[in-house]
Amino acid sequence: MSKKFMKVQRIEHGTVIDHILPGRAFDVLRVLGISTDRSMSILINSHSAKGGTKDILKIEDVELSDEEASRLALVSPHATVNIIVEGKVVKKFNAEAPVMVRGVLSCSNPNCISNQNEPIQSEFRLSLDSEHRYVCTYCQRDIVDLARRIRS
């Protein structure tokens, strides 16, 4: 038997999210609204073959949609999504950062009208002049510490 061993078992059906920024796995679960009481494997600061570390999530019986994958990109822009059916990867794609984000985040400006009791959804626009900067369409401020602004 090889000295290599698997830290976690492969899954038969579900989604593997690879190349998550190290330490962001729980933020990913939060942004996807996936509860930790379901069956899943979470690897934190796993060594990456490309060097450095990454987090990995293996979530059983969940197939991530494109929309969910774009939400995941909010907290880990370069993650890879693998959809597994009967033990095989049937779809693989990169999480792409959405241009507009509605309802998922709360504005980091406490004085923003979107943080008040108003019948509106928060709304953020990906800035054209930056790689990963979201601007509140209400108060026009950059969102600060984005992972902590995800609504649970």
Partner 1 sequence: MRHVISVQDFSAEEIIDILDRAETMVEIAKGNDVSEILKGKVLAAIFFEPSTRTRLSFETAMNRLGGGVIGFAGTEATSVVKGETLADTIRMVSGYADAVVLRHPREGAAKLATQFSDVPILNAGDGAGQHPTQTMLDLFTIRTELGRLEGLNISLVGDLRYGRTVHSLAIALAKFGNTINLVSPEGLEMPGEVISHLEDTGRFGKACHSPEEIIADTDMLYVTRIQKERFPDPVEYEKVAGMYRVDPELVSRGPEHMIILHPLPRVNEITPEVDALPQAKYFQQAFNAVPVRMALLSMVIGGQSNV
Binding to partner 1 by CB under 8 A, coded x per residue (else -) over 122-151, reads --------------xxxxxxx---------
- CB 109 to partner 1: min, Å: 6
43 makes contact with partner 1 (CB under 8 A): no
Residue with Cβ nearer partner 1 (63 or 142): 142
Residue with Cβ nearer partner 1 (37 or 145): 145
Token pair recorded at residue 45: 């600061």
Residue with Cβ nearer partner 1 (9 or 111): 111
Q: Which of residues 104-123 bind partner 1 (CB under 8 A)?
A: 109, 111-114, 116-120
Q: Any long-range contacts for 25-31 (C-beta under 8 Å, 24+ apart)?
A: 25/55, 25/56, 25/57, 27/75, 27/76, 27/147, 27/150, 28/55, 28/57, 28/72, 28/75, 28/76, 28/79, 29/57, 30/150, 30/152, 31/71, 31/72, 31/74, 31/75, 31/104, 31/150
**For binding to partner 1 (CB under 8 A), which residues are involved?**
109, 111-114, 116-120, 136-142
